[in-house]
C-alpha cells in the first residue's frame, strides 16, 4: 500500500531517476558530436539544459535530506547522518560550482580564450573531485548499512548493495555504468520512501 508520509521524496526520486540519465545521455551526444570542442565544457549561453542541471542538484539534495529523515523516523538509524550531510555538501559543491562557472562565462562574454580555458579546466577538476567524493561517500554509506544488513528492511538492503557497486564505479570513474546504476538506486529509494514501513528499530 502507498505510504503518503514520504510521497514527495518518493516522487522526487522517481523524477530524478528519469531526468538524470536523460540529461547525461544528451550531454554524451554532445561529446560525440563532430563539432564538439573542449571549450564546450562550459556554456557561453544559458539554455534549458542549464536549468535541468540545476534541477538535478535540487532534487538530489532533497532526496538525501529525506533519506536522513526517513532513516531516523522509521528505524532510528543515525549512523550515516554525517555521511549523508557530507554527500549533500558534495552535491551542492558539484552543482553550484559548475553553475557558477557557466554563469561567469555567460555574463563575462568578452572573456579571453585563456580565461575560458581556465574555466574549462576548473569545471573538469571540480567534477572529477566531486565524482571521487561521491564514490567514497557511497562506499562508506553502503558499508555502514551492510554492517546492519540482517536487521534492515528489505529495500534498504538492496539499496546498500547497489550503493556499494555504485561507489566502486564512481571511484574508478566508470561514468557510463554509474549513469545506468544511479537511476536504479534512486528507484529503490523511491520504493522505500513510498512503501508502508516495516516495524524495525536499529539500535
Number of structural domains in the chain = 1
Q: And the C-alpha cell for 26?
A: 544528451
More confident residue, 49 or 17: 17
| pTM (two decimals) | 0.86
Q: What does the pLDDT look like over 133-144, one tens digit per residue?
A: 999 999 999 999
Say what the pLDDT of residue 16 is.
97
Find the mean pLDDT for residues 20-27. Answer: 88
175 within a domain of the structure (yes/no): yes
* Mean pLDDT within 96-117: 75
Phi first, then psi: what are they for 195, rounded to 5°? -80, 160
pLDDT, position 46: 64
Does the pLDDT value for residue 82 go beyond 60?
yes
What pLDDT is attached to residue 29?
Answer: 79
Domain assignment present for 144: yes
Q: What is the mean pLDDT of residues 4-24?
A: 93
* pLDDT > 50? residue 4: yes
Say if 203 falls within a structural domain.
no
Residue at 200 is within a domain: no
Residue 169: predicted pLDDT:
94
Least confident of 65-69, 176-180, 189-193: 176-180
In a domain, 69, yes or no: yes
**Per-residue b/e over 150-186, b at no fewer than 16 CB within 10 Å?**
eebbebbbbbbbbbbbbbbbbbeeeeeebbebbbebb
Render pLDDT for 161-173 as a digit per residue (tens, 0 to 9).
999 999 999 999 8
Range of the domain at 185: 4-194
What is the chain's mean pLDDT, rounded?
86
Number of other CB atoms surrounding residue 135 within 10 Å = 20
CA–CA distance, 17 with 98 (Å, rounded to integer): 21
Give yes or no for residue 200 having a pLDDT over 70. no
Evaluate whether residue 184 is within a structural domain.
Answer: yes
Q: Are 172 and 2 in contact (CB under 8 A)?
A: no
Residue 99 domain flag: yes
Task: Tell me, yes or no, whether 72 lies in a domain.
Answer: yes
Q: Indicate the Cα dihedral angle 129, 123, 19, 84, nearest 10°.
A: 30
pLDDT value at residue 42: 54
Amino acid at each position: 500500500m502507498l505510504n503518503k508520509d514520504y510521497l514527495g521524496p518518493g516522487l522526487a526520486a522517481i523524477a530524478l531517476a528519469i531526468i538524470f540519465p536523460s540529461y547525461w545521455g544528451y550531454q554524451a551526444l554532445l561529446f560525440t558530436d563532430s563539432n564538439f570542442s573542449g571549450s564546450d565544457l562550459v556554456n557561453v549561453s544559458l539554455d534549458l539544459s542549464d536549468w535541468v542541471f540545476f534541477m538535478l542538484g535540487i532534487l538530489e539534495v532533497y532526496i538525501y535530506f529525506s533519506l536522513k529523515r526517513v532513516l531516523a523516523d522509521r528505524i532510528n538509524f543515525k549512523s550515516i547522518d554525517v555521511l549523508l550531510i557530507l554527500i549533500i555538501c558534495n552535491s551542492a559543491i558539484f552543482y553550484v560550482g559548475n553553475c557558477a562557472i557557466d554563469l561567469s562565462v555567460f555574463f563575462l562574454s568578452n572573456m579571453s580564450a585563456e580565461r575560458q580555458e581556465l574555466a574549462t579546466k576548473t569545471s573538469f577538476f571540480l567534477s572529477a573531485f566531486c565524482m571521487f567524493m561521491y564514490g567514497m561517500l557511497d562506499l562508506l554509506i553502503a558499508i555502514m548499512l551492510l554492517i546492519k544488513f540482517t536487521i534492515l528492511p528489505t529495500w534498504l538492503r538492496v539499496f546498500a548493495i547497489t550503493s556499494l557497486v555504485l561507489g566502486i564505479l564512481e571511484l574508478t570513474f566508470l561514468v557510463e555504468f554509474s549513469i545506468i546504476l544511479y537511476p536504479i538506486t534512486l528507484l529503490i529509494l523511491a520504493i522505500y520512501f513510498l512503501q508502508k514501513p516495516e516495524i524495525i528499530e536499529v539500535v
